[in-house]
Each structure stands twice: as structure tokens, then as C-alpha cells.
A = this chain, B = another copy of it.
């Protein structure tokens, strides 16, 4: 039996489109329905085989689906759920693919009709391209998906969602929504802010001296500004807290430099090097 009878993907862009392709290629869904607000994008999703049929109306698009995937920008989730609620099938599972979890999980769980389940998901996959034109079924292969159950999450629903991400090639990790947001702030959102700030730190003489090290350290700052605005704002409290803690860590380095404390500087650098090498293997600058 096919794991999902009908899956509705709301927002058929790079992630939503790739998930449609992956679900169909893997035989995980009998039918995939695409919901969007631009007919041209929906037509393209059909043409690329990412979805079987489409709708401009969430209430219409989710009817009869046992899985609904929210793949629009985070800011649109609530409006989608409110619009779709009346026609969400009993027992339907709703997931998202957004990069912030605590605020989303709390808000969506609050408005979801009884008998329907929401499970926050964050597949950490993507590319520099956007839109269904760049969707591909192997987008998720080898990447990590964080799934964030709460004490309201039925174990069988959680099991089906975890199995689905695993079947499209992802390594699944379970974290609480708050743990997720803190971890993402530390591993992704803070580094993005830091890279953006580093670009602003260079004066005119330094501009022409940029080499591979600088290029690596600041690379993520070339990401799309509007997309990262949404990511940072949706996790603002955790990111702000991570920045504050980071300012303190920089203060430790600064104090050691002001004191000319070479031994302390070396100890700090050596510990960072050891932690990074353990994490990613030694790939020197």
C-alpha cells in the first residue's frame, strides 16, 4: 500500500516542488496536489511532474489529503491553515518545512481543528536557486531533517513523518521546537549575521586584499536578503540571544589581545581548531 493516498503541497517552489518529485519517484504518494497563488507556477509544477493537479484555493486543495505540507514562506502558514481548516480531513497530518519552529508549532497547533495533527519539520536542504524550475527529486538526499514533536504529537503520526523524510533520503533528528530554534541560531543564523557584519568591517585599503579565507568566511552573506530577513525575524529572540553571547566570546579574545596574552590566544585558537576538525575533518584554509 502506498504510504500516503493524497499529499497536498502548499507552495510549490524549490522545496515544495522537489518534495513532490521525490514523493512520486519514491512511490510514497498516490496523488500529489499543488496549491499556489500564481497559475503560471502551478502549471510549471505540473509540467515538471512535481504535482498531479493544482488549485489556487487552499480549502479546495487540501480536501481529501492525508498529508498537507506547508512549503510557503513562514509568514503565510497561519492564513493557509485558517483557510484550509474546514476541509482538512479527520486524521490528516500537517507538516511544514520552515526554518523556525517554536513560534510556528505553537501558533499552528492552536488553530488546527481537533483530530488533525501538526508536526514541525525543517529539512535543511536547498540551493542558491529558487522556484520549481530548479526542483529535483534528490534535493534532500544526504541532508538532515529536524523533526520537532511536542507532547501533543501522536507517536504513530510522528513515525509516519520520520519514515517519509527518511525515504526521500534524509537523516532525521528529533529536537523540541525550542531546541531546534536555539541550535539553528547557533549553527546557521548567527553565522549568517556574522558573515554579513564581517563584510561591513572592511575599509577601503582592505577591500583589495580579500583572498580565499575572507571569501570563505563571508560566503553565506551572498544569500538572498529577503529570504534571510524572514529566517532571522522568525527566530529573532534566539538569534539576538546568540549574538549577545557571541559578543561576549569576542570580548574574551579582545581582552587576551589587549593583554598580549599569547598563551591564552593560542589556547583559545587550539580549542576552536580541535572542535572544528572533529566536526568536519581538517580542511585547512
Q: Is the pair A222, B144 in contact by a Cβ cutoff of 8 Å?
A: no
Tell which of A35-43, A47-55, A84-92, A252-260 binds the partner.
A252-260
What's the minimum C-beta distance from A285 to chain B, rounded to whole angstroms? Answer: 4
Q: Is the pair A187, B214 in contact by a Cβ cutoff of 8 Å?
A: yes
What's the minimum C-beta distance from A76 to chain B, rounded to whole angstroms? Answer: 15
Within 8 A of B (CB), among A35-80: none
When distances are taken between beta carbons in the complex, the residues of chain B under 8 Å from A198 are: 190-191, 194, 246
Q: Is the pair A205, B217 in contact by a Cβ cutoff of 8 Å?
A: no
Assembled-state Cα–Cα distance A196/B104 (Å): 32
Between A182, A200, A244, the greatest number of chain B beta carbons within 10 A of the residue's beta carbon is seen for A200
A277 interfacial contact with B, CB 8 Å: yes
What sequence of 0s and 1s flags, for each residue 81-111 of chain A, a beta carbon within 8 Å of any chain B beta carbon? Answer: 0000000000000000000000000000000
A282 interfacial contact with B, CB 8 Å: yes
When distances are taken between beta carbons in the complex, the residues of chain B under 8 Å from A225 are: 266, 269-270, 273
B183, B201, B258: the one within 8 Å of A249 (CB):
B201
Q: Is the pair A144, B208 in contact by a Cβ cutoff of 8 Å?
A: yes
Mostly, the A contact residues are helix
Q: Is the pair B265, A199 in contact by a Cβ cutoff of 8 Å?
A: no
Within 8 A of B (CB), among A167-219: 173, 175, 179-180, 182-184, 186-188, 190-203, 205-211, 213-219
What's the minimum C-beta distance from A99 to chain B, rounded to whole angstroms? Answer: 11
Q: Is the pair B272, A232 in contact by a Cβ cutoff of 8 Å?
A: no
Q: Is the pair B207, A279 in contact by a Cβ cutoff of 8 Å?
A: yes
Q: Is the pair B217, A124 in contact by a Cβ cutoff of 8 Å?
A: no
A residues bordering B, Cβ < 8 Å? Answer: 124, 128, 143-144, 146, 173, 175, 179-180, 182-184, 186-188, 190-203, 205-211, 213-226, 228-230, 232-233, 236-237, 239-240, 242-247, 249-251, 253-254, 257-258, 260, 262, 265-266, 268-273, 275-277, 279-280, 282-285
Given contacts A201-B245, A222-B273, 14 further A-B contacts (CB under 8 A): A183-B203, A188-B213, A188-B214, A196-B269, A196-B272, A196-B273, A197-B246, A199-B275, A213-B219, A216-B220, A217-B217, A219-B283, A222-B277, A233-B257
